[in-house]
Amino acid sequence: MTDHIVVLSGAGMSAESGLSTFRDNDGLWEKHNVYDVATPEAFQRNPELVLRFYNDRRRQLKDAQPNPAHHALAELEREYRVTIVTQNIDDLHERAGSSHVVHLHGQLTQARSIHDEHTVYDIGYDDIQLGDTAENGGQLRPHVVWFGEAVPMIETAAEVVSTADQLLIVGTSLQVYPAAGLVNCVDIDVPITVIDPGEASVSRARVIRKTASDGVLEWMESLRRQ
């Protein structure tokens, strides 16, 4: 019996819902250079551009829907204890019904003060404008982890992965640190499955070379046969 299933999800999970996500191979996100919209320096240089970019992403997210992979993982909670550690900043796992989700890189539906990363507000799909401030007077910015910033949830994620009885990696190449190091937190005898249509870089893993939705459904069928 598998007591605790931990899922590491990434961009490939959201892509099937129509969300364009940063990919390392071209360095572009919705035709923007990531260093123009996803760094603290970019926000200092041109906050209006950065806020507009994330406002557009929030509107895109509002219209997006969870795909079969999201729904399948949520359904898995009926039979197992499931924790999802996601690199994605969208809320599609939660909207599909998953109740234990750790967001490594923050959440698009939240904002925080530039003066205090712990002053965080739920904003849903509303825009953030220049002049929108927190109660401490700081300009609001997206509550997302930008390049060059620390990943505050990495220790929590490492603790979660260390308790896994089975690890499922979906839609991420795990080539970006510190997230890539999470696979090393799992016990040596814990089964690892990677769902990715491309080349998998995780040693000792079973690989299902399919898209997120097709791969998750195939993996669930094999899990139930165990």
Residues identified as active-site: 105
- Using CA atoms, how far residue 177 sits from 119, 136, 147, 207, in Å, is 26, 32, 11, 21
Report the distance separating Cα 23 and Cα 112, nearest Å. Answer: 25
User: According to DSSP H, which parts of 16-120 are helical?
Assistant: 34-37, 40-45, 47-63, 68-75, 92-96
Report the distance separating Cα 59 and Cα 52, nearest Å. Answer: 11
Cβ-in-10-Å burial (0-12, 13-18, 19+) of 95 comes to middle
